[in-house]
């Protein structure tokens, strides 16, 4: 039962965890998606339940068993995920939100009610251009809506590959400042790293301190434990 692990250091707490990756439909048979397996978010939810929390797991396109003690809300798109997370937080009793989901930054501007055909009326050799529009930033919205209140504690994730502008830690530090969340869990991603794997290496960054805790390579369960070990003492 939800929150059945009474006596843990999250007993009496309600946490919301988003996990998986959103899919943005183009037509009835196609979507824009990403490589998130949901394993890290599910591990975060499972560990919170073990520690005694009531857990609302907002799950986007994940093929994993529901962890013991978690209440799942299944979503497909970024807009659905935003709706589910904000509705859970609006209930007012949420102590922490962990945004582990890979939320699509963009969605197709238009949804085609009928399957898009190879010959789409502009000559047989042409290809269509897919116009995209921005999705809302769910995490930024949570920070904004919290205003001056100290609850809920908000955890963001950052999947970084590193690029010409900086390494993973530089990019993560900048993202933490931009997002305004209380903890940023940064991991290095690439086609051979993290996605779908059972282990990963993450850096835990908090505002107001240059100190960075690096965990791994360890199992995603151990990463989840390290996240809650960091969050629990900070909860108001
Ligand atoms: N996130 C979100 N809503 C979005 C995009 C991201 O809530 N529309 C959340 C993710 O769940 C994650 C955090 O923001 O916790 C960081 O996501 P990431 O994709 O790394 O950052 P972005 O701000 O989208 O920046 P970019 O993709 O350009 O690196
Ligand atoms: Ca993004």
Greatest CA span in the chain, whole angstroms? Answer: 67
Give 160 Cα–ligand 2 centroid separation in angstroms: 9
Across 222-231, average pLDDT = 98
Asked whether the predicted pLDDT for residue 54 surpasses 70, the reply is yes
More confident residue, 189 or 170: 170
Please write the tens of the pLDDT for every residue from 174-225: 999 999 999 999 987 765 566 677 788 899 999 999 999 999 999 999 999 9
Give 106 Cα–ligand 2 centroid separation in angstroms: 9
Give the residue whose CA is nearest to atom 4 of ligand 1: 137
Q: Does 39 count as an annotated binding residue?
A: no
Q: How far, in Å, CA of 109 to CA of 106, rounded? A: 9
Closest ligand 1 atom, CA of 159?
20
Q: Does 34 participate in catalysis according to the annotation?
A: yes
216 torsion bin: left (phi>0), alpha (psi -120 to 50), beta (else): left
Across 138-142, average pLDDT = 98
Please write the tens of the pLDDT for every residue from 78-122: 999 999 999 999 998 999 999 999 999 999 999 999 999 988 665
Query: Which pLDDT belongs to residue 122?
Result: 59
Confidence of residue 3 (pLDDT cuts 50, 70, 90): very low
Asked whether the predicted pLDDT for residue 154 surpasses 50, the reply is yes
Confidence of residue 1 (pLDDT cuts 50, 70, 90): very low
Say yes or no: ipTM exceeds 0.90.
yes
């Amino acid at each position: 039962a939800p929150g059945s692990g009474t006596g843990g250091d999250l007993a009496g707490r309600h946490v919301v965890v988003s996990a998986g990756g959103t899919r943005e439909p183009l037509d009835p048979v196609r979507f824009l998606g990403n490589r998130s397996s949901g394993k890290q978010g599910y591990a975060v939810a499972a560990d919170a339940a073990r520690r005694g929390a009531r857990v609302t797991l907002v799950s986007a396109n994940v093929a994993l068993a529901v962890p013991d003690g978690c209440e799942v809300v299944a979503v497909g798109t970024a807009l659905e995920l935003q709706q589910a997370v904000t509705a859970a937080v609006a209930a007012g009793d949420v102590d922490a939100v962990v945004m582990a989901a890979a939320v699509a930054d963009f969605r197709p501007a238009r949804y085609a009610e009928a399957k898009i055909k190879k010959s789409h009326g502009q000559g047989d050799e042409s290809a269509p251009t897919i116009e995209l529009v921005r999705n809302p930033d769910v995490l930024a919205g949570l920070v904004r809506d919290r205003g001056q209140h100290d609850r809920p504690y908000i955890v963001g994730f950052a999947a970084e590959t590193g690029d010409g502008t900086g390494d993973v830690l530089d990019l993560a530090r900048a993202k933490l400042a931009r997002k305004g969340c209380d903890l940023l869990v940064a991991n290095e991603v690439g086609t051979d790293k993290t996605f779908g794997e059972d282990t990963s290496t993450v850096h835990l960054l908090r505002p107001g301190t240059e100190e960075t805790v690096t965990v791994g390579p360890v199992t995603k369960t151990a990463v989840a434990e390290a996240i809650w070990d960091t969050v629990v003492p900070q909860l108001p």
